[in-house]
């Protein structure tokens, strides 16, 4: 809407929905609806956690991902991309629309079902996407045992979560192990998009973790991720690392 929360402006007063941590959602527009973004049609819903099923900042990385898909060597019919913590599938579908074969992994069964609905809404249900409900690290390690290899990786891990054994999962502690598992199934010229929304992880932390797992890359760019409202107010959303090996 272009107006920061708490503003007394007319635009904020006419918002269809509002989420307050203590009160939850208020407003009349509580049914699912769809939005169009970069050629995709995505279903949005007001969830109990305060989310809508789309993180619009992810679309900032799609041009770079499409560029990487376009320069892959012709060793396969299509580049294979492993998308971990894939949520409701917007980036999975952007990859599929760009010609990739995508393995979409998320531990939440409802989120994967939501992603499949988005594929149908976007006319991409017939694209080569494997929809996997599983723990990201456990699945990647099984892929290594199966001998599967990937040309690219997209990771959008949460700051905290639950591991497959029910224990607490902390990104700062688990990131090196997760990236090492990805490196073990990476083709020599793989690319990586890693986003982190953790306040105590800075660009140097991401660079060190990526270089430790994959070696010194040919290219590594790390930028702050920010959405800027029409009012000019910026919303910081973490950092994104883009890595290329040739």
**176-216 pLDDT, tens digit each:** 999 999 999 999 989 999 998 877 778 888 999 999 999 98
Position 3 scores a pLDDT of 47
pLDDT band at 164; cut points 50, 70, 90: low
Beta bridge partners of 33: 44
Q: What is the DSSP code (8-state) at residue 89?
A: S
Residue 238: CB partners within 8 Å, gap ≥ 6?
195, 196, 197, 198, 224, 225
**116-148 pLDDT, tens digit each:** 999 999 999 999 999 999 999 999 999 999 999
Q: Could you state, in order of their start, the residue ranges of all structural domains in the chain?
A: 52-244
Position 118 scores a pLDDT of 98
Position 2 scores a pLDDT of 44
Q: Average pLDDT of 45-69?
A: 90
pLDDT at 174 over 80: yes
Residue 199: CB partners within 8 Å, gap ≥ 6?
none
CATH architecture of 52-244: 3-Layer(aba) Sandwich (3.40)
Mean pLDDT of the chain: 88
Provide the CB-side half-sphere exposure for 49 (13 A, CA): 5
The answer to whether 75 and 136 are in contact (CB under 8 A) is: no
Q: Average pLDDT of 49-55?
A: 87
**2-15 pLDDT, tens digit each:** 445 555 566 777 78
Q: Average pLDDT of 67-88?
A: 86
Chain position carrying tokens 């010609």 = 99
Q: Average pLDDT of 221-226?
A: 87
Could you tell me the pTM of the whole model? 0.89
Chain position carrying tokens 């959303």 = 237
**Between residues 141 and 218, the one the model is more confident about:** 141
DSSP 219-237: EEEEEEEEEE-TTS-EEEE
Residue 22: CB partners within 8 Å, gap ≥ 6?
none
The answer to whether 114 and 89 are in contact (CB under 8 A) is: yes
In this prediction, what percent of the chain has a pLDDT beyond 70? 88
pLDDT band at 1; cut points 50, 70, 90: very low
Provide the CB-side half-sphere exposure for 228 (13 A, CA): 3
* 109 to 63, 86, 90, 106, 215: CA distances (angstroms): 28, 11, 16, 7, 34
């Amino acid at each position: 809407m272009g107006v920061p929360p708490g503003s007394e402006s007319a635009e904020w007063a006419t918002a269809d929905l509002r989420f307050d941590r203590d009160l939850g959602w208020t407003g009349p527009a509580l049914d699912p609806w769809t939005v169009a973004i970069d050629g995709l049609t995505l279903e949005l819903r007001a969830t109990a956690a305060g989310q809508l099923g789309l993180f619009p900042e992810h679309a900032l990385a799609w041009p770079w991902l499409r560029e990487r898909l376009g320069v892959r060597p012709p060793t396969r019919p299509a580049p294979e991309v492993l998308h971990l913590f894939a949520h409701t599938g917007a980036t999975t579908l952007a990859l599929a629309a760009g010609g990739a074969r995508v393995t979409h992994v998320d531990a939440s069964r409802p989120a994967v079902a939501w992603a499949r609905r988005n594929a149908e809404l976007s006319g991409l249900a017939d694209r080569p996407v494997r929809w996997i409900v599983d723990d990201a690290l456990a699945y990647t390690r099984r892929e290594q045992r199966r001998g599967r290899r990937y040309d690219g990786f997209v990771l959008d891990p949460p700051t905290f979560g639950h591991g497959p054994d029910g224990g607490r999962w902390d990104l700062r502690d688990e990131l090196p192990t997760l990236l090492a598992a990805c490196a073990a199934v990476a083709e020599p010229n793989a690319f990586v998009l890693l986003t982190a929304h953790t306040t105590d992880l800075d660009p140097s932390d991401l660079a060190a973790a990526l270089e430790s797992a994959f070696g010194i890359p040919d290219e590594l760019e790390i930028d702050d991720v920010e959405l800027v409202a029409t009012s000019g107010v910026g919303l910081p959303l973490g950092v994104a690392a883009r890595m290329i090996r040739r």
